[in-house]
Amino acid sequence: MKRLSLFLLMAVFAFACSQTEQMTDTQQSDDTSTNPYENMDFPELNDFQKPEVETFTTENGVTFYLVEDNELPLINVSTRVRTGGVLNSNKKTGLASITGTVMRSGGTETYPADTLNTLLENRAASIETGIGFTSGNASMDVLKEDFDDLLPIFIDVLTNPAFPEDKIELAKTQQKSSISRRNDNPQQIGVREFQALIYGEDSPYGRTTEYSTINNITREDLVNFHDKHFSASNMMVGVVGDFNAKEMKQKLRNTFGELPSGDETTLKFPEVDYEPQSTINFIEKSDVNQSFVMMGHIGGMRDNPDYAKVQVMNRVLSGGFSGRLMQVVRTEMGLAYSVFGQYGMNSFYPGLFYAGVMTKSSTTAEAIDAIIEQIERLQNEPITEQELQDVKDQILNSAVFEYDSYEEVLSERMSNEYRGLPADAFEQYIEGVKATTIEDVQKVA
């Protein structure tokens, strides 16, 4: 087992809930008889059929994904852009996020913010933009009858944001407000510092926004960041809803297809400079009277062939109330209300393996020992047949709800392509879960 790094944080957590059930003598006696519903006939449920996703690429580099859904007169457009906060420098951490916010909040030269807001309200439509750590995104939800009018406006927001100074200052103030509150939550402190410990505080994966990095950001930075990445060659566009595919293709070619190609962005994800070592790190927070603990080390990558096996292992260890950590540390030992853990596997850079607990100060050491014991038990002893079957049932029975709408199917397809995964990555995962054995779980642990 890799050595664990450990964070302890004095934290307070309280939660109470109660539920009462009452049953009359008559109801109790009825339990011994045949229930009426047992004699009822139910029709077979229809299987959810994944729709075909039609794709094409225009000469300027935009790749499109189309799914027709004629149930309601609605159309959703979603755009994924090859950019992200990973591209920010340490001195201007937060630039990508602010850029994504002000693209929408600031409007365009043609449609200033107030004009844009009123227009969308009157059409019962929405346009949203944002930039996360590994990608940018924009979306539009619109009635079918308004699609032709609003598509050019959506593209205007995407490609020609005005970036007015007052909206930039507002976004920066909101970021600073978030910074000022982030130490109120002990869990947030622990997670943030744990990431910095594993990845390194100067790594893009471990750094955080600060007042100084927000103050360093100028309007020119936003304009340059946007212009560098929001070009046709960096865009994926998905459309799902009530339309004719042939007609939609032509509309997209006449709009998105006319955008300048621009330079293709290369997302650079630095190697993680991680040296396994055993350390204990404390953060003192004097206004709380419990401990928040995180322990762990570097995790894995999503394209690992053992991905499905690791997910089964995760569920055995910490799959909600049925996971070993919850059953032992909370239910049997009564040491915590919340206990958790996961071996994380990311697409672009390694995830984190972590386990943690919130417990009384006086039981901190006992809770830590109990968690480590369960991790080692998973490595040294095979799980039971019942545990394996229960976890498989959890995953397989919930699979139908993962992509039970056309919009979710389209989003999955675009996400897989963006991350370099096969189109049927989810189906491969399900088959991998079915094939996982007791020996597989112990091996990956």
pLDDT in tens, 122-138: 999 999 999 999 999 99
In a 10 Å sphere around its CB, with 0-12 CB exposed, 13-18 middle and 19+ buried, how is residue 230 labelled?
buried
Name the CATH superfamily, with its identifier, for domain 54-258: Metalloenzyme, LuxS/M16 peptidase-like (3.30.830.10)
Q: What percent of the chain lies above the pLDDT cut of 70?
A: 90
- Is the predicted pLDDT of residue 52 greater than 80, yes or no? yes
**Chain length of the chain:** 445
pLDDT tens-place string over residues 168-225:
999 999 999 999 999 999 999 999 999 999 999 999 999 999 999 999 999 999 999 9
Q: Which pLDDT belongs to residue 41?
A: 76
Q: Which pLDDT belongs to residue 54?
A: 97
Q: Which pLDDT belongs to residue 27?
A: 42
pLDDT averaged over every residue in the chain? 91
Residues near 283 by beta carbon (within 8 Å), at least 6 away in sequence:
7, 8, 9, 10, 189, 190, 193
Q: Which pLDDT belongs to residue 48?
A: 61
Q: For residues 343 and 310, is the Cβ–Cβ distance under 8 A?
A: yes
Can you tell me whether residue 105 is helix, strand or coil?
helix
pLDDT band at 277 (very low <50, low <70, confident <90, very high): confident
Q: Which pLDDT belongs to residue 106?
A: 98
Q: Which pLDDT belongs to residue 24?
A: 39
Distance CA 235, CA 229 (A): 9
> 95 or 320, which is more confident?
95
- Is the predicted pLDDT of residue 13 greater than 50, yes or no? no
299-444: what CATH class? alpha beta
Positions of CATH 3.30.830.10 in the chain:
54-258, 299-444
Strand-pairing partners, residue 290, are 360
Strand-pairing partners, residue 131, are 136
